[in-house]
């Protein structure tokens, strides 16, 4: 398995897609029930293959990720060749930017000496999607990139 198995909830959400996936392999609903009963390892394998297909489709479309922690925000822009990072670090233990109050403090105090903004660019490895998935496993969320765009304008002056 290349990525991670979808959760039970995600499988339920994608019930129809999974049925279609089984159909592409000429597996009927009755046959699927039989496979689950008689060959649980084969059923597990089908779930893993389907999960990887879904992840691959999602990861192919990712352009922006965000990762928030109490004193840092990592904003990623993924291109075909690079991962561009804008990192915002708050050097004040009293501020937790994962809270509404802390985030509002950050918005109004961007020029405060306690706020440091860094940028970095890294080449994508041979497996772009694996790079993205690693960031997601570490807690990053897929976004539309509005926050990245906002901070990119600040960084570029």
Same domain, 48 and 77: no
Average pLDDT over all residues of the chain: 94
pTM attached to this predicted model: 0.86
Model confidence at 157: pLDDT above 90: no
Q: How many Å separate Cα 44 from the centre of its chain?
A: 24
Same domain, 98 and 148: yes
What is the per-residue pLDDT across 80-111, written as a single tens digit (0 to 9) for each?
899 999 999 999 999 999 999 999 999 999 99
Same domain, 130 and 105: yes
Same domain, 77 and 134: yes
* pLDDT (0 to 100) of residue 113: 94
Q: Count of residues for the chain?
A: 157
**CA-CA distance, 133 to 84, in Å (whole number)?**
16
Residue 60's Cβ-side half-sphere holds a number of Cα atoms within 13 Å equal to 6
pLDDT exceeding 70 applies to what percent of the chain? 100
Domain with 23 in it:
8-60
Same domain, 149 and 79: yes
Position 2 in a domain: no
Model confidence at 54: pLDDT above 80: yes
Same domain, 48 and 85: no
Q: Which two tokens stand for residue 72?
A: 């840092």
């Amino acid at each position: 398995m290349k990525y991670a198995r979808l959760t039970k909830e995600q499988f339920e959400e994608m019930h129809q897609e999974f049925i279609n996936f089984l159909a592409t392999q000429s597996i009927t609903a009755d046959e699927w029930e039989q496979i689950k009963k008689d060959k649980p390892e084969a059923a597990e394998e089908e779930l893993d293959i389907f999960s990887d297909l879904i992840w691959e489709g999602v990861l192919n479309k990712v352009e922006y990720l965000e990762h928030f922690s109490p004193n840092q925000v990592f904003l990623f822009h993924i291109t075909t060749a690079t991962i561009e990072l804008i990192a915002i670090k708050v050097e004040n233990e009293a501020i937790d930017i994962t809270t509404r109050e802390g985030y509002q403090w950050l918005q109004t105090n961007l020029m405060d000496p306690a706020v440091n903004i860094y940028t970095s660019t890294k080449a994508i490895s041979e497996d772009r999607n694996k790079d993205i998935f690693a960031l997601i496993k570490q807690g990053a969320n897929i976004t539309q990139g509005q926050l990245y765009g906002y901070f990119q304008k600040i960084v570029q002056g």
